[in-house]
A and B are shown apart, each in its own frame.
Chain A
């Protein structure tokens, strides 16, 4: 069991669909992250929220839209994705930006 919960665990969607990935933590962490990980590659940072404000956007295409409704929740809204966006999407949280990060088990996303 992890302290960061991601839903759904698996998602298959077409290129015209709109879906959302969800992430929740109740550790009181104030920094939350989205990563994208392709097979046999390291996680790549997408977005960072610090105190519920977007602090880093690593040049991610606009078809990925993050949202932080409150300090415990982080969403990633998906629209008009491409087949190359198929990957494992990982959420993480930390007490602060330089502290150790706690990861969820990810959402395995497949784009048809």
Chain B
């Protein structure tokens, strides 16, 4: 297993602004997954990006992956108060289990 490290640990922005979170990892991966967790709830899967992909979009979410730098970023555009949550990246090696990094706590102020 391997752990992602998110940066920043906390991020506070105004509604309508974009939020960018970064993830770094140590070894080769099969895919990298991003999850969101609202306070007191379970995690919700957002996007899975495979090692041979460089960018992926889902609605207001854009994920990039740079395997040469062992890093990924999650961009949330036109943020809303409902986007307030913790965001976790989870690098995944085929046949291995997910190990979550410390997460980024995002606060979007109305």
Contacts and interface: CB of A to CB of B under 8 A. Distances in A.
Nearest to A4: B42
A98 B92 contact: yes
Given A98-B30, A98-B31, A100-B48, A43 B43 contact: yes
The B contact surface, by secondary structure, is loop
Interface stretch (A64-72, A73-81, A102-110): A102-110
B5 to A, nearest CB: 11
Contacts of B45: 100-102
Interface residues of A, number: 23
B37 to A, nearest CB: 8
A102 B102 CA distance: 19
B97 A45 contact: yes
A2 interface: yes
A103 B42 contact: yes
B102 A98 contact: no
Given A42-B102, A45-B1, A98 B96 contact: yes
A90 interface: yes
Contacts of B94: 98
B2 interface: no
Contacts of A41: 102
A56 interface: yes
A2 B36 CA distance: 14
A21 interface: no
A41 B97 CA distance: 18
Interface of B: 1, 30-31, 33, 40-45, 48, 88, 92-103
23 contacts: A4-B42, A42-B88, A42-B102, A43-B43, A45-B98, A48-B97, A92-B42, A92-B43, A97-B97, A98-B30, A98-B94, A99-B48, A100-B33, A100-B45, A100-B48, A101-B33, A101-B45, A102-B45, A103-B42, A103-B43, A104-B42, A105-B42, A108-B40
